[in-house]
């Protein structure tokens, strides 16, 4: 991940707490990226549905997903 602590120590040691925190943040950033891409794709899909079909999609899609 990193080779040195970003803290002011300057001794080249890796702070395990800082390293774990940054690793967790990187993991969350990757998840956020995936969810954002998916949301953008869903937006483009919904935007392309004609308004007359939107009513049917909103009305019947939950029934199809839940199995009736």
* Tokens, residue 40: 């953008």
What is the tens place of the pLDDT at every residue in 9-51? 557 788 999 999 999 999 999 999 999 999 999 999 888 877 6
> 27-62 burial, b for 16+ CB within 10 Å, e for fewer?
eeeeeeeeeeeeeeeeeeeeeeeeeeeeeeeeeeee
The pLDDT value recorded for residue 15 is 93
DSSP string, 25-55: HHHHHHHHHHHHHHHHHHHHHHHHS-HHHHH
Q: Which two tokens stand for residue 43?
A: 């937006």
């Amino acid at each position: 991940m990193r080779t040195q602590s970003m803290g002011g120590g300057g001794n080249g040691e890796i702070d395990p707490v800082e390293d774990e925190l940054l690793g967790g943040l990187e993991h969350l950033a990757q998840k956020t990226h995936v969810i954002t891409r998916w949301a953008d794709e869903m937006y483009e899909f919904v935007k392309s549905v004609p308004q007359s079909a939107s009513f049917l999609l909103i009305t019947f899609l939950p029934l199809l997903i839940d199995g009736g």
